Chain A
Amino acid sequence: MGHRTPLFAEHARLGARIVPFGGWDMPLHYGSQIEEHLAVRSQAGIFDVSHMRTLDITGNRARDLLRRLLANDVARLREPGKALYSCMLSERGGVLDDLIVYFRGPDSYRVVVNAATADKDLAWMRTQAQGQDVAIQPRTDLAMIAIQGPEARRRAAPHLPLELREPALALQPFFGVDDRDWFVARTGYTGEDGFEILLPADQAAGLWRALVAGGVVPCGLGARDTLRLEAGMNLYGQDMDEDTNPLESGLDWTLAWEPPDRDFIGREALEALRTAGGLSHLVGLLLTGPGVLRAHQKVLVAGKEVGITTSGGYAPTLRRSIALARLEPDIELASGDPCEVDIRGKPTAARLVKPPFARQGTIRIDLD
């Protein structure tokens, strides 16, 4: 049996199909993954993401520590509440994890990391912080609920503590605001507007029930995965990991090379890779033939293997199958070019497309 979030009893009551994920017993779906997915694109859905680990990093060396630990630069965060997406790299440039860091004020940051990597991340961060005036505090006392979709913010606001309602509705994308142990951020992992809400674990079921009673659709990890895939967002452990690097994972945009003297962990290795060239790259695929794309299928051109899918599945918004794939170095394929994918031994027609596939309720690629 895995760990259970403070919302486990709610999932059981709603008849969720429970699956192990990153050491946790989590809901995969509550009946129909496709209906959950479509509810988020058209209205609003909620997700229990309490398995993710929140770490509060404070102290007068907090900023320096994060500028060394993260490939993106927290010095870019000047307004309180502002969020930044970043990779945390190993010395050789491999991706240890991807995370969101919120700037809460001078010497105070909040980081949210993936469930499966949380213990490893914490150990790594503490090793790097040794002997410095910085505290890393896991907030296992908090639960986390994501509410996503075009109606998400409007539906969530009445259920927030009174003092947070107006500030939460006034948030710009990628900002957060807090009041005591409640923290509301206009972030997510679906390609839709919405909030991610951190709150005391003992209040999580109350918020969950109120939102469900108000018609917000409970969504499982299955819908979360297809929504992020349609939105063209990477999944750690699948589209990138310790053995790959941001340059080969479509994450160049998260690397802050300036200022050149910021010595973040992995920088030297990435610079060497960039100079050497011959890097593989992550692309989007649309299946034009029959079947369903899955992770770990070979991408073929003229019968020759040129890459491998890293994530794949049925995309409910498109009613088609899509994938992210890593193409080998020097494979010159552009968006719109045809290729094939080996689906269970059958080379099946597909086409390169530029993610995102769908965001904000709309299809973003050409299906014809």
Chain B
Amino acid sequence: MSQVPSELRYTKDHEWTRDNGDGTLTIGITDHAQEALGDLVFVEVPEQGREVAAGEACAVVESVKAASDIFSPLAGTVAEVNGALADAPERINEDPYGEGWIFKLSPSEGSAFARLMDADAYARCLDDE
């Protein structure tokens, strides 16, 4: 069974979002997603400073199996990106909720985070698959 940390929020596209408490959110893919994709071999992170809409494709992860778009869960500005993934995409497999984070977002609306799926809802979503 894949891990679903309770303090994070989720999307149906198997991404997680963490509220950093400093006005930024960190975004990555879930344990379930990395397991389904298999070994990650390439990550294209968004440009820092890019403005993104909610649901906009802004990054790509490619595994041995396939390429997948990463969608911004909320509207905002890309505040920081995980440059280490360029040389070590396997960090997403090894530590999807930690070292494998993909980018940080400054959301344009502060309260939007709370509207994302909580861990229980995401776990149910996984059960339905």
A residues touching B (Cβ–Cβ < 8 Å)?
Answer: 17, 28-29, 32-34, 222, 226, 290-292, 294, 313-314, 321, 344
Whether B39 pairs with A32 at a CB distance below 8 angstroms is yes
Whether A291 pairs with B42 at a CB distance below 8 angstroms is yes
Q: Name the contact of B44 in the complex, choosing from A29, A222, A226, A290 (C-beta under 8 A).
A: A290
Closest 6 CB pairs of A and B: A314-B41, A292-B62, A34-B39, A33-B64, A292-B42, A33-B39
- A294→B66 CA distance, assembly (Å): 8
Contact flags B52-89 to A (C-beta < 8 A → 1, else 0): 00000000101011110000000000000000000000
Whether B64 pairs with A291 at a CB distance below 8 angstroms is no
- Nearest A residue (CB) for B35: A17
Please name all residues of chain A whose beta carbon is closer than 8 Å to the beta carbon of B39 when the two chains form the complex.
32-34
Task: Flag whether B38 is at the interface (Cβ < 8 A).
Answer: yes
Most chain B beta-carbon contacts within 10 A, residue among A32, A33, A294, A314: A314
Please name all residues of chain B whose beta carbon is closer than 8 Å to the beta carbon of A344 when the two chains form the complex.
60, 67
Question: Known: A222-B65, A291-B62, A294-B67. Contact between A314 and B38, CB under 8 A?
Answer: no
Please name all residues of chain B whose beta carbon is closer than 8 Å to the beta carbon of A321 when the two chains form the complex.
41-42
Please name all residues of chain A whose beta carbon is closer than 8 Å to the beta carbon of B60 when the two chains form the complex.
344
Shortest B118–chain A CB gap in Å is: 28
Most chain A beta-carbon contacts within 10 A, residue among B62, B64, B66, B67: B64
Please name all residues of chain B whose beta carbon is closer than 8 Å to the beta carbon of A29 when the two chains form the complex.
38
How many chain B residues touch A (CB < 8 A): the figure is 12
Whether A291 pairs with B65 at a CB distance below 8 angstroms is no
Please name all residues of chain A whose beta carbon is closer than 8 Å to the beta carbon of B66 when the two chains form the complex.
294
Q: Name the contact of B42 in the complex, choosing from A17, A32, A33, A314 (C-beta under 8 A).
A: A314
Please name all residues of chain A whose beta carbon is closer than 8 Å to the beta carbon of B67 when the two chains form the complex.
292, 294, 344
- Nearest A residue (CB) for B86: A290
- Nearest A residue (CB) for B42: A292
- A34→B42 CA distance, assembly (Å): 13
- A29→B35 CA distance, assembly (Å): 11
Shortest A109–chain B CB gap in Å is: 37
Please name all residues of chain B whose beta carbon is closer than 8 Å to the beta carbon of A290 when the two chains form the complex.
42, 44
Please name all residues of chain B whose beta carbon is closer than 8 Å to the beta carbon of A292 when the two chains form the complex.
41-42, 62, 67
- A226→B60 CA distance, assembly (Å): 21
- A201→B64 CA distance, assembly (Å): 31
Please name all residues of chain A whose beta carbon is closer than 8 Å to the beta carbon of B42 when the two chains form the complex.
290-292, 314, 321
Contact flags B31-44 to A (C-beta < 8 A → 1, else 0): 00000001101101
Give me 25 A-to-B residue pairs in the complex whose CB atoms sit less than 8 angstroms apart, sorted by A's number.
Answer: A17-B38, A29-B38, A32-B93, A33-B38, A33-B64, A34-B39, A34-B41, A34-B64, A222-B65, A290-B44, A291-B42, A291-B44, A292-B41, A292-B42, A292-B62, A294-B66, A294-B67, A313-B64, A314-B41, A314-B42, A314-B64, A321-B41, A321-B42, A344-B60, A344-B67
Please name all residues of chain A whose beta carbon is closer than 8 Å to the beta carbon of B65 when the two chains form the complex.
28, 222
- A222→B65 CA distance, assembly (Å): 8
Please name all residues of chain A whose beta carbon is closer than 8 Å to the beta carbon of B93 when the two chains form the complex.
32
Q: A32-B39, A321-B42 are in contact. List 16 more A-B contacts (CB 8 A).
A: A17-B38, A28-B38, A32-B38, A32-B93, A33-B38, A33-B64, A222-B64, A226-B64, A291-B42, A291-B62, A292-B41, A292-B42, A292-B67, A294-B67, A314-B41, A314-B42
Shortest A144–chain B CB gap in Å is: 24
- A32→B34 CA distance, assembly (Å): 11
Please name all residues of chain B whose beta carbon is closer than 8 Å to the beta carbon of A313 when the two chains form the complex.
64
Please name all residues of chain B whose beta carbon is closer than 8 Å to the beta carbon of A34 when the two chains form the complex.
39, 41, 64
Most chain A beta-carbon contacts within 10 A, residue among B60, B65, B66, B67: B65
- A29→B38 CA distance, assembly (Å): 9
- A226→B44 CA distance, assembly (Å): 22
Contact flags B101-125 to A (C-beta < 8 A → 1, else 0): 0000000000000000000000000
